[in-house]
Amino acid sequence: MSDTKEDLEVQLRAMFESQEQAVLVADREWSGEADAWPLHSKSQSRRAYVAVGIAAGIVIFLAALPLVARSGAPVKTGQKGPAGQRPAGRSVSGFHTETPQVSLTADALSIDVDGKKYVTASPVQVHSDPGIWQGYTTLELTWLEHGVEMRLSVYFTSDGHHWWSDEIRTYDGRADGKWVFYKGDFFRSPLGTPFVGNLDVTASDHGVTGHLQMTGLHLEAFLRPAPCRAPTAPYAIDAGYPSIEMQLSPQSGFGVNATLLDTAACAPVKPDGYTFAWSVAEPSISTVTGDGLRADLTPKAIGTTAVRVTATDKASGTVVATADIPVVVTKSTPASPTTGVKASP
């Protein structure tokens, strides 16, 4: 029996080591669009969990051996979602969410409203308003907890040298969802540098008191745009949104503020010397009206299309950059929570 147990231990250890390598590879393959997922901050921590799992797994494996032998089914330890999505929310090791504009990591995130605590325990919708490059952006989270919709919105600004937030809002935990406003000067850091530390703020509004805490915080706004990370041309257009989703209703629409970038310096280019043209692949699904780097989209029918913006040098007539943004028009629904990527834990 001891020989059999030793053989099983060797097999089980090999299985866990193989699963560990698969997890590490999956982490490297994930892409970082607007999404939220459980945080595994250090590879040493993951290996520590695997080591503990081996010790506990030997006992479980020996007890369940007849069942495993009969079923022959593989054990699933994790699953990668569709491209651009990751499991959302909270795990024992922290919380992480990221959009093209903002990245937030925290060991713990909680909102206490009059003694009731909210910890983003359900699937989270994540959204950033691209706003103005190195000028204005947001990070907006929406989720359901304790039977009500909760929201956390952080508003970022920049003077071209530093970035910070002068306003944070959270919902008040009530069914009709009113805002509690936290005013101040939060997270101030040089552009390109994350804020590292803790946040502990309290605010009172319309008869309720909110207490927002984020510990082990690693937060950065105005992330380097995707066209600057692996540039293929001297100029690029950053539209801010990886995709656009609109609902088909008379009131629906979408505004885009694009930026023409010098990819070497990753800095905005003054648009005066360029003309900008906007077009839609399928005008029957959506129309677009452009004015320079600003455009407004109007949905016309349910379906999928793409909007294109083209920058042309006025002096030479040469096209210097183009950008295509996928557009999806969906059926109108009675309630429309914050636009963003839906993900599940």
In the chain, where does the domain assigned CATH 2.40.160.110 lie?
90-221
Q: Which residue has the higher pLDDT, 133 or 190?
A: 190
Residue 232 scores a pLDDT above 80: yes
pLDDT given at position 60:
31
Q: Is the dihedral of CA 221, 222, 227, 230 positive or negative?
A: negative
pLDDT at 334: 61
CA-based nearest residue to 143, from 156, 135, 134, 152 = 152
Distances (CA, A) of 174 to 142, 150, 170, 268, 275: 14, 9, 11, 42, 49
- pTM value is 0.63
Domain 90-221 bears CATH identifier 3.20.20.60: no
- Element housing 219 (H / E): strand 208-221
- Cα separation, 286 vs 131, in Å, equals 22
Domain with CATH 2.60.40.1080 in the chain: 226-332
**Could you give the percent of the chain with pLDDT greater than 70?**
70
Q: How close are the terminal C-alpha atoms of the chain, in Å?
A: 41
* Residue whose token pair is 């913006």: 309
Determine how β-strand 267-268 pairs with β-strand 294-299: unpaired
Which class is domain 226-332?
Answer: mainly beta
